């Protein structure tokens, strides 16, 4: 008689085996999803890891552009996204037709430029780009752009401004932003710092300059995990990024205490798009083999740009 699977976690584990699937999860997923994942990481880590998996199916617990990137880098694999509506406000802020028109206008005006695009963008936008960056490799890629051409940075103006500061390169900044990182309250951060003297503030570079200015460390999620690891004694960290990152930091570095920096309108700063994925949807997509990311014509050009930027 087959064992009765009472826990949804057991169902997911059994289905992964049965369907020859691997589960990839971004740090911004709920802890219960990260706990079940085979690989957890930031966009750069997951994109690279996706090219090495041997299973025939990848269940991508993240948002649409991430699952799309996994498919582009793995055309032969079946890539599932538990909720096809898991979008991204930042990716939405750069529609491909608008970018195309803007690039045309710059060319007509005689501007020589390369388009450096944050991975949080659609495949159509990636296909219009020269380089794709993540918060983990952006500085390195920007240094590969020749000095005699301008940089059009798409779509996050805050990350672009930060990169412009650290690399000394002037940039034309697209006017996009992440709805989660944009709403941290600098006033509340200062109050928190006062309440917790000796605390260390760590911020994601998608945060606006007024938050970065009051931070001890600015870096992507993978860099945050490493940075916190350099503290030998128990420390309070104020964390200015998506709130689920705290789950990760706490599980990797249990001796420290982590506090979310509050937002202007809410205290949690959880991404509603990431939050669309639930354990039930993970189980159902494994059961049904859907929703699936299917190959689109713009993926061919996006693949060239992604491989050049992330894998070489
Ligand atoms: S946290 Fe921001 S950038 Fe990340 S998926 Fe959500 S809306 Fe997009």
Per-domain boundaries in the chain: 8-87+274-295, 91-173, 181-260
Fold (topology level) of 181-260: Rossmann fold (3.40.50)
Tell me the pLDDT tens digit for each residue of 233-282.
999 999 999 999 999 999 999 999 999 998 776 656 899 999 999 999 99
Task: Domain 8-87+274-295: give its CATH code.
Answer: 3.40.50.10800
The answer to whether 66 and 29 are in contact (CB under 8 A) is: no
Contacts of 20 (CB under 8 A, 6+ apart): 55, 56, 57
* Residue with CA nearest ligand 1 atom 3: 178
The answer to whether 205 and 219 are in contact (CB under 8 A) is: yes
* Residue with CA nearest ligand 1 atom 8: 88
Ligand 1 atom index nearest CA of 178:
2
Tell me the pLDDT tens digit for each residue of 58-102.
999 999 999 999 999 999 999 999 999 999 999 999 999 999 999
Which residues approach ligand 1 with their CB closer than 6 A? 28, 63, 88-90, 120, 178-180, 242, 271, 273-274
Q: Do domains 91-173 and 181-260 have the same CATH topology?
A: yes
User: Helix H segments across 136-244?
Assistant: 138-142, 157-167, 186-195, 209-212, 221-228
CATH classification (class only), 91-173: alpha beta
């Amino acid at each position: 008689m087959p064992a009765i699977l009472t826990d949804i976690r057991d169902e997911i584990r059994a289905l992964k085996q049965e369907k020859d699937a691997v589960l990839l999860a971004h740090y911004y997923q709920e802890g219960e999803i990260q706990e079940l994942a085979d690989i957890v990481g930031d966009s750069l880590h997951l994109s690279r890891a996706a090219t090495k998996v041997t299973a025939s199916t990848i269940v991508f617990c993240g948002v649409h552009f991430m699952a799309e990137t996994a498919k582009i880098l793995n055309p032969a694999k079946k890539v599932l996204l538990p909720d096809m509506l898991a979008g991204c406000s930042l990716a939405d802020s750069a529609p491909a037709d608008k970018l195309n028109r803007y690039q045309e206008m710059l060319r007509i005006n005689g501007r020589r430029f390369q388009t450096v695009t944050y991975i949080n963008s659609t495949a159509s936008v990636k296909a219009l780009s020269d380089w794709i960056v993540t918060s983990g490799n952006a500085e390195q890629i920007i240094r590969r752009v020749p000095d005699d051409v301008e940089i059009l940075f798409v779509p996050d103006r805050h990350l672009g401004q930060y990169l412009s500061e650290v690399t000394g390169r002037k940039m034309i900044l697209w006017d996009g932003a992440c709805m989660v990182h944009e709403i941290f309250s600098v006033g509340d951060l200062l109050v928190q710092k006062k309440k917790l003297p000796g605390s260390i503030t760590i911020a994601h570079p998608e945060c606006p300059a007024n938050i970065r200015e009051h931070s001890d460390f600015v870096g992507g999620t993978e860099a945050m995990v490493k940075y916190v690891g350099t503290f030998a004694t128990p420390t309070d960290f104020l964390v200015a990024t998506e709130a689920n990152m705290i789950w990760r930091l706490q599980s990797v570095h249990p001796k420290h205490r982590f506090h979310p920096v509050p937002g202007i309108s809410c205290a949690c700063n959880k991404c509603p798009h990431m939050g669309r994925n639930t354990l039930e949807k993970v189980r159902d997509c494994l059961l049904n083999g859907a929703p699936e990311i299917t190959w689109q014509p713009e993926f061919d050009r996006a693949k060239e740009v992604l491989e050049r930027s992330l894998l070489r």
